[in-house]
């Protein structure tokens, strides 16, 4: 199976600054790493993902980095806004799996204050 | 974006009763999943389903759980009988293809067993 560790569990940042969330995984065969944002009472929504053939991906103020050697991947939110406040979950899948079972980290509660 | 619909959004039932949670996946998707999320925690994989069969299930998928998708109808999760520890939000997800493909989550069904 796969285990995903995610830190920090809570992150408070001032509006306009950047926020970073880090995850590690155990199964070196995992090859797909999505990030989901979940607001209270809502479903998790995919915000960005990265596959093992890339080391960096950027879209709309989000940057994800993947270090396969260290089995570590991270999400960086630049220029945070109050609307970025939510729970963020990293996940990993792939490897020997046939079907796309995702293993999630425990989540990071991001709070952006003015 | 693609939408996964779940019915009911919430249900309260007595311990020992049966409950069926319904999911209408994205129309052209072939892989279906159930995840369980206890308040404040991450989503945990229960089961995935493809071509009419369970492909993988976790240890959380107890003998009291079953899934099916009769032709052209909902993908369902049935719990019979329910136990107090089954109280959680159950998220259905679907993906177009298998490992490494994006999972789209429904809004969740909040189950409270009393």
Terminal Cα-to-Cα distance of chain A (whole angstroms): 41
Q: What pLDDT, on a 0 to 100 scale, did the predictor assign at position B45? A: 93
Q: How far is A86 from chain B (nearest CA, A)?
A: 12
pLDDT tens-digit map of A58-111: 998 999 999 999 999 999 999 999 999 999 999 998 766 666 688 999 999 999
Q: How far is B7 from chain A (nearest CA, A)?
A: 14
Q: What pLDDT, on a 0 to 100 scale, did the predictor assign at position A98? A: 60
The residue-averaged pLDDT of A28-52 equals: 93
Q: Any CB–CB contact under 8 A between B91 and chain A?
A: yes
Between A42, A44, A93, which is nearest B100 by CB? Answer: A93
**For residues A31-62, b (16+ Cβ closer than 10 Å) or e, as one string?**
bbbbbbbbeeeebbeebbbbebeeeeeeeeeb
Q: What pLDDT, on a 0 to 100 scale, did the predictor assign at position A97? A: 62
Between B31, B50, B108, which is nearest A43 by CB? Answer: B108
Percent of chain A at pLDDT exceeding 70: 95
- Please report the residues numbered 42 through 81 in chain B whose beta carbons come closer than 8 angstroms to any beta carbon of chain A: 42-45, 48, 50, 55-56
- pLDDT band at residue A54 using 50, 70 and 90 as cut-offs: very high
B-chain residues near A99 (CB < 8 A): 31, 48, 50, 55-56, 98-99
Q: What pLDDT, on a 0 to 100 scale, did the predictor assign at position B101? A: 80
Whether residue A36 is predicted with pLDDT greater than 90 in this model: the reply is yes
Closest CA to B46 of B29, B23, B72: B23
Q: What pLDDT, on a 0 to 100 scale, did the predictor assign at position B2? A: 84
Q: What pLDDT, on a 0 to 100 scale, did the predictor assign at position B98? A: 73
Q: What pLDDT, on a 0 to 100 scale, did the predictor assign at position A96? A: 62
Q: What pLDDT, on a 0 to 100 scale, did the predictor assign at position A95? A: 66
Per the prediction, chain B carries an average pLDDT of 93
Q: What pLDDT, on a 0 to 100 scale, did the predictor assign at position B25? A: 95
User: What is the mean pLDDT, run by run of 10 residues, along chain B of 114 residues?
Assistant: 92 98 94 93 92 92 96 92 97 86 92 98
């Amino acid at each position: 199976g796969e285990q995903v560790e995610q830190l920090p569990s809570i992150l408070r940042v001032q509006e306009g600054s950047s926020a970073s969330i880090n995850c590690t995984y155990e199964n070196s065969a995992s090859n797909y790493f999505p990030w989901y944002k979940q607001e209270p009472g809502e479903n998790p929504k995919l915000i960005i993902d990265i596959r093992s053939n890339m080391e960096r991906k950027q879209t709309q103020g989000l940057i994800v980095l993947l270090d396969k050697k260290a089995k570590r991947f991270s999400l960086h939110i630049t220029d945070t806004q109050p609307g970025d406040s939510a729970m963020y979950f990293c996940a990993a899948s792939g490897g020997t799996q046939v079907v796309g079972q995702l293993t999630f980290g425990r989540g990071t509660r991001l709070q952006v204050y003015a | 974006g693609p939408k996964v619909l779940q019915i009911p959004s919430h249900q309260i039932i007595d311990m020992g009763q049966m409950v069926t949670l319904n999911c209408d996946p994205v129309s052209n998707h072939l892989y279906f999943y159930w995840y369980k999320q206890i308040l404040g925690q991450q989503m945990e994989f229960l089961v995935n389903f493809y071509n009419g069969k369970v492909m993988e299930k976790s240890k959380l998928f107890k003998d009291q759980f079953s899934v099916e998708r009769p032709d052209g109808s909902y993908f369902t999760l049935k719990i019979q009988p329910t136990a107090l520890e089954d109280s959680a939000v159950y998220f259905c997800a679907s993906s177009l293809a298998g490992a490494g493909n994006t999972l789209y989550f429904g809004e969740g069904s909040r189950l409270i067993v009393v």
